[in-house]
């Protein structure tokens, strides 16, 4: 036979296949479809599946054996929602999406009836598609959109609340400086403490609004660990003792206090879970070098020594074979439903963001110790000292310079102006950015320093600073905000973010910052 066998040269078309070949081609076509295709009679008895159907249901053709479709998922009656039942009842195609609990999957089901010559459905073609991953992605997207909206709301609420806390804390400090009666002083201290706790809550809201973004600022590890200890004492079994051993002489690090607190809590709660019958959690700070750390020195740490936080327990310990996996996402040694497997991976991620490391030592039935290593603090000595100890506003130096104070919150202007005037400064107040520019442009040589809020109507603090610096680039401008730097990040340069005066600030931090900016401008 020649090369033209089976080909009609006159019409240039391949002749139609024989009935046997046509059936095989149709069968091959159906088997090539990646979705499940099945054929059922009017009683739901499965006549055949395509190859994808057999794989999906883990069946062989001989397993059908007159069984109904619902029997293959362990049921003894048709599903309550059934597209094939609808198609057989109406004689029209049917479609539905449903969760099949026996399989743990979301399935898109489509059914197409086959009618006899009288229009009665006698068989049905069933088309199944596993859409579980699509549903999960849609749910994640909905969750992200919801969290985005909640985060924006939380950030706005926290910003407004921080503005109110500036006044509460500031006026309480002013009052404390003016009274000597111990009883009255105790009441004022109570107001200040409550306001500080409220400030901590707003920091949590702003951390939530950041949605995991990293914020670098000086953090006092000892102060943060004291907060963690207080939280733990309200959430762990009384049979578990907590021992604090905060001995590190240097304990200020650069980092994100909210992320660090979450990481510390995760480690402490893991320690709690490792001691179901009680025991001891030891939280310790110290300084380690490569030759003094009790475990192998982590790769990538180049400084000669690192601040170290140790979280140790007297619990069940971790099997040696599992240690290399404990920082993997979703890896957990807990029973199903008692852990997500994310706590240690989150701690690992946080330490990497902080240019540090986390490592572990564990012995079965002896306990586990986690070592969190932080690089030495590289900020200025002034910043470190300010974090360690605010000091007394009465001991801070003032000055005689002239300051332009711009804020759209009247109680903040009143408070800051009073603080600065009491320290000898001359203060001119502006109600917003446009008012600030009007006052400055009227006498450009009349101001030594400008303090301005960032988010204001009409003219924001960044735009005001730009106008001022075009006129007098040497004038220092202090930017203030109740938002975190990343929330107003589109408006701020990295240098602005690092130097932002965060609300609520204390009298001491305000006066130190003012004096430092003025002294720097005179150099």
Least confident of 96-110, 174-188, 464-478: 174-188
pLDDT, greater one: 185 or 93: 93
Does residue 239 belong to any structural domain of this protein?
A: yes
Task: Give me the mean pLDDT over the 270-275 stretch.
Answer: 88
pLDDT value of residue 13? 65
CATH, residue 441: 3.40.50.2300
Res. 460: pLDDT tops 70 = yes
Give the domain-ending residue among 332, 363, 389.
Answer: 389
- Residue 121: what pLDDT? 93
Residue 169 lies inside a defined structural domain of this protein: no
Mean of the per-residue pLDDT values for the chain?
82
Whether residues 442 and 355 fall in one domain: no
Give pLDDT, residue 8: 53
DSSP state of 348: H
Confidence (pLDDT) at 44: 92
- Non-local CB neighbours of 58 within 8 Å, separated by 6+ positions: none
Q: Are 362 and 298 found together in one domain?
A: yes
- Reported as a single tens digit per residue, the pLDDT across 379-423 is 644 444 444 444 454 567 789 999 999 999 888 899 899 989 989
Token digits for 376? 């030495």
Pair (230, 359) in one structural domain: yes
Average pLDDT of span 342-362: 81
Q: Is 60 in the same domain as 72?
A: yes
Residues 257 and 217 sit within 8 Å (Cβ to Cβ) = yes
Mean pLDDT of 195-214: 63
Confidence at residue 203, expressed as pLDDT on a 0 to 100 scale:
66
pLDDT exceeds cutoff 70 at 515: yes
Structural domain contains residue 184: no
What was the pLDDT predicted at 50?
93
In a shared domain, residues 385 and 410 = no
Answer whether residue 344 is part of any domain: yes
Tokens of 394: 């009465």
pLDDT of residue 289: 84
Same domain, 401 and 379: no
Find, among 32, 72, 41, the residue nearest to 56 by Cα: 72
Q: What is 430-499 written as a DSSP string?
A: ESSHHHHHHHHHHSGGG-SEEEEESS-SSS-HHHHHHHHHHH-TTS-EEEEESS-TTTTTTT--HHHHHH
Looking at the predicted structure, is the pLDDT value of residue 225 above 60?
yes
> What does the pLDDT average to over 498-512?
82
* Two tokens, residue 420: 């600065």
Whether pLDDT at 337 is above 50 = no
pLDDT tens-digit readout, 305-334:
888 999 999 998 888 878 777 777 655 655
Q: What is the pLDDT of residue 208?
A: 56
With CA atoms as reference, report the closest residue to 385 among 245, 509, 495, 496.
Answer: 509
Per the document, the length of the chain is 523
Which tokens hold the place of 367? 């306990």
pLDDT score recorded for residue 446: 92
Residue 269 has pLDDT above 80, yes or no: yes
Residues 371 and 463 in one domain: no
Chain centroid, CA 454 distance in Å:
25
Give the domain-ending residue among 130, 155, 184. Answer: 130
Query: Which of the four pLDDT bands, split at 50, 70 and 90, describes residue 205?
Result: low
In this prediction, residue 36 has a pLDDT band, given cuts at 50, 70 and 90, of: very high
Q: Of 18-27, 93-102, 141-150, which one has max mean pLDDT? A: 93-102
Parallel, antiparallel, or unpaired for β 477-481 and 449-453? parallel
What is the SS3 assignment for 130?
Answer: strand
Same domain membership, residue 233 and residue 382: yes
Closest CA to 435 of 450, 415, 419: 450
Domain count, the chain: 3
The string of DSSP letters for 192-245 reads: HHHHHHHHHHHHHHHHHHHTT----EEEEHHHHHHHHHHHHHTTS-TTEEEEEE
DSSP H helix total and E strand total for the chain: 15, 17
Residue 189, classed as helix, strand or coil, is helix
Is pLDDT at 106 greater than 50 in this prediction? yes
Q: Which two tokens stand for residue 491?
A: 């408006």
Mean pLDDT of 86-115: 92
User: What was the pLDDT predicted at 333?
Assistant: 59
Domain containing residue 66:
19-130
Pair 365, 251 in one domain: yes
């Amino acid at each position: 036979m020649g090369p033209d066998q089976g080909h009609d040269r006159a019409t240039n078309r391949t002749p139609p296949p024989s009935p046997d070949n046509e059936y095989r081609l149709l069968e091959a076509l159906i088997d090539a479809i990646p979705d499940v295709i099945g054929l059922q009679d009017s009683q739901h008895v499965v006549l055949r599946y395509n190859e994808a159907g057999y794989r999906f249901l883990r069946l062989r053709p001989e397993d059908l054996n007159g069984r109904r479709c619902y029997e293959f998922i362990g049921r003894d009656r048709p599903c309550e929602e059934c597209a094939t039942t609808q198609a057989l009842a109406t004689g029209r195609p049917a479609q539905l999406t449903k969760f099949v609990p026996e399989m743990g999957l979301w399935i898109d089901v489509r059914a197409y009836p086959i009618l006899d010559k009288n229009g009665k459905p006698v068989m049905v073609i069933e088309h199944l598609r596993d859409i579980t991953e699509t549903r999960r992605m849609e749910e994640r997207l909905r969750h992200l959109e919801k969290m985005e909206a909640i985060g924006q709301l939380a950030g706005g609420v926290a910003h407004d609340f921080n503005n109110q806390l500036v006044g509460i804390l500031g006026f309480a400090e002013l009052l404390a400086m003016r009274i000597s009666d111990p009883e009255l002083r105790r009441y004022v201290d109570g107001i200040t403490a409550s306001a500080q706790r409220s400030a901590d809550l707003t920091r949590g809201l702003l951390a939530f609004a950041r949605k995991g973004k990293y914020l670098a600022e000086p953090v006092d590890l000892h102060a943060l660990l004291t907060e963690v200890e207080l939280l733990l004492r309200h959430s762990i079994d009384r049979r578990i003792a907590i021992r604090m051993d905060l001995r590190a002489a240097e304990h200020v690090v650069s980092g994100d206090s909210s992320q660090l607190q979450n990481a510390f809590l995760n480690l402490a709660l893991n320690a709690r879970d490792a001691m179901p019958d009680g025991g001891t959690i030891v939280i310790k700070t110290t300084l380690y070098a490569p030759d003094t750390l009790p475990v192998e020195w982590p790769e990538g740490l180049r400084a000669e020594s690192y601040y170290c936080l140790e979280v140790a327990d007297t619990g069940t310990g971790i099997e040696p074979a599992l240690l290399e996996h404990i920082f993997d996402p979703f890896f957990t040694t807990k029973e199903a439903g008692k852990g997500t497997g994310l706590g240690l991976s989150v701690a690992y991620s946080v330490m990497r963001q902080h240019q540090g490391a986390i490592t572990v030592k564990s012995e079965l039935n002896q306990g586990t110790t986690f070592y969190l290593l932080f690089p030495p603090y590289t900020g200025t000595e002034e910043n470190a000292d300010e974090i360690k100890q605010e000091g007394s506003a009465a001991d801070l130096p003032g000055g005689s310079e002239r300051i332009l104070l711009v804020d759209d919150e009247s109680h903040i202007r009143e408070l800051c102006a009073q603080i600065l005037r009491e320290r000898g400064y001359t203060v001119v107040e502006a109600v917003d950015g446009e008012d600030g520019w009007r006052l400055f442009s009227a006498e450009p040589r009349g101001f030594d320093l400008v303090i301005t809020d960032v988010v204001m109507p009409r003219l924001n603090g960044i735009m005001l600073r730009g106008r001022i610096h075009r006129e007098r680039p040497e004038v220092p401008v202090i930017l203030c905000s109740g938002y975190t730097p990343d929330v107003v990040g589109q408006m701020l340069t990295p240098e602005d973010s690092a130097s932002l005066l965060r609300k609520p600030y204390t009298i001491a931090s305000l006066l130190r910052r003012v004096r430092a900016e003025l002294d720097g401008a005179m150099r």
